[in-house]
Amino acid sequence: MKKLLASTMTTLLLVILLTSASFAAPAAAEKELLFKGSLQAVETNEVNFPSLSVDATGSGNATQLGQYTIHYQVQVNLLTLAGSGSATLIAADGSSLFTESSGQATPTGTPNEVTIVETHNITGGTGRFAGASGSFTVERVLDQITGVTSGMILSDGTASLGVGENSRVCHHNRAKEAFRLPC
């Protein structure tokens, strides 16, 4: 009876140990990293009242991306200044990050100038960003006459970049500026 009880206890302990190890392994490899950067672009637009179609190309420098290029398209409601669109960010190594965005423009008080705050929801990527998900925020200023816009990329703490099947993931938490990237 003692041997049966000892054997059962040993088996139970092994099952608990293996189960907890398999659930703990992914978390142990994760470390959040800071994600922020700059953005500069030139927008062209076409008005079809009450809508404005925006097409833009630009570049910037961001942590985890390095030098990158961006292309985005947005549809803006001219009555509310709210917009939605999509963007592709391409890192120097060719890895791409795809997003869907929604945003709101607000006049600054300077003629023909607006501030824009956008939330970008990551829908996927290629290369080291394969399997990416999450979101980040862009805050920028747009000169409506020249189409020149510039601003900052700020992580809101939910972006998970490069978490495809074969990616090792790292985390680093820093006051709402965190996401996951391959180590």
* 81-124 pLDDT per residue, tens: 999 999 999 999 999 999 999 999 999 999 999 999 999 999 99
CATH number of the domain to which 88 belongs: 2.40.350
Query: For residue 46, how far is the Cα from the chain centroid?
Result: 28
Same domain, 10 and 48: no
Does one domain contain both 109 and 153?
yes
Partners of 150 in the beta sheet? 40, 141
Residues 125 and 90 in one domain: yes
Return the exposure string of 24-41: e unless at least 16 CB atoms fall within 10 Å of the residue's CB, then b.
eeeeeeeebbbbebebeb
Domain match, 148 and 166 both: yes
Same domain, 138 and 114: yes
Domain span including residue 135: 36-182
Q: What count of other Cβ atoms lies within 10 Å of the Cβ of residue 112?
A: 11
- Is there a single domain that holds both residue 71 and residue 140? yes
* Single-letter residue type at 150: S
List C-alpha distances in Å: 71 to 1, 4, 138, 181: 72, 67, 14, 22
My answer on whether 96 and 173 are in the same domain is yes
Same structural domain, 54 and 134: yes
Residues 40 and 80 in one domain: yes
Chain segment 25-77, per-residue pLDDT in tens: 444 333 345 678 999 999 999 999 999 999 999 999 998 889 999 999 999 99
Overall domain count for the chain: 2
* 169 and 152 co-located in one domain: yes
